Amino acid sequence: MPTIVVLATSNAGKLSEIQRIVGNSEVEFVPQSQLKVPDAIEDGLSFVENAIIKARNACHHTNLPAIADDSGLEVAALRGAPGIYSSRYADGAGDLANNEKLLQVMEGRHDRAARFVCVMVYMHHAEDPTPLISYGFWEGQVANRPAGENGFGYDPLFYVPELNCHSAELDSAVKNRVSHRAKALANLKAQLEQHKILT
Ligand code: IMP
């Protein structure tokens, strides 16, 4: 019998990525929407707090182990903003408005260093005092103008020096190999293996 692990996300893209990188015949990942888990209130002040809140909420409502993630864009010159508020930087007006606001705030700034951050958390149960926590970073810069049609969020404005293009110009297969999420997932997989949760 495979171990069932709840995924505290309803994003189909993330589900299949987690399945592909971490999945094997011993674990069955079930999205929390299938188990009628209500959304958690993400009122943490860091990525890691929010990921733990989401994983704990999924464990609490299912009595099963859970994996949750939280991610966003940190801009060095803005002391890490938009950070945990990345998805609602322009007060919930959507990706385009978020990108426009970021461009406006960065106008005239020379230090344009930025990074995408992803935190993944695994919890055995809701009271687990030692959640497994992994980080993934993807270093880049806030470009002066958007480019590319792929991806979502800040991908059009995220310039990746190592690939000399914007994240939204990358094929999804390439992005899934190099992104913050890919790195966090690879690290979580290693931790799950080390703790014999995955073999
Ligand atoms: P989530 O918590 O993973 O849903 O991400 C929060 C927000 O961070 C998203 O709504 C995007 O604005 C931003 N973000 C996270 N990952 C990416 C990415 O890979 N590309 C572009 N934007 C991202």
Q: What is the pLDDT of residues 17-27, one digit of tens each?
A: 787 778 777 88
pLDDT band at 16 (very low <50, low <70, confident <90, very high): confident
Is 188 part of a structural domain of the chain? Answer: yes
Residue 22, in any domain of the structure: yes
Indicate the average pLDDT of the chain.
Answer: 94
Residue 56: give its domain's CATH number. Answer: 3.90.950.10
Residue pLDDT, tens place only, 73-93: 999 999 999 999 999 999 989
Burial class (CB in 10 A: 0-12, 13-18, 19+), 186: middle
- For ligand 1, say whether the CB of 50 is within 6 Å of any of its atoms: no
The rounded Å distance from CA 50 to ligand 1 centre is 14
Q: Are 155 and 148 in contact (CB under 8 A)?
A: yes
Q: Ligand 1 centre from 99 Cα, in Å?
A: 12
- Residue 143 forms part of a structural domain: yes
199 within some domain: no
Count of domains observed in the chain: 1
Statement: residue 12 has pLDDT above 90: no
Residue 56 domain flag: yes
Decide: pTM greater than 0.85: yes
Among 17-31, 115-129, 175-189, the minimum mean pLDDT is found in: 17-31
What residues form DSSP beta bridges with 132?
122
Q: How many other CB atoms sit within 10 Å of the CB of residue 107?
A: 8
Q: Report d(CA 129, CA 41) in Å as an integer.
A: 20
Q: Is 70 a catalytic residue?
A: yes
Containing structural domain, residue 76: 3-194
Task: Classify residue 104: in a domain, yes or no.
Answer: yes
pLDDT in tens, 122-164: 999 999 999 999 999 999 999 999 999 999 999 999 999 999 9
Check if 136 has its Cβ closer than 6 Å to any atom of ligand 1: no
Tell whether omega for the bond before 82 is within 30 degrees of 0, i.e. cis: yes
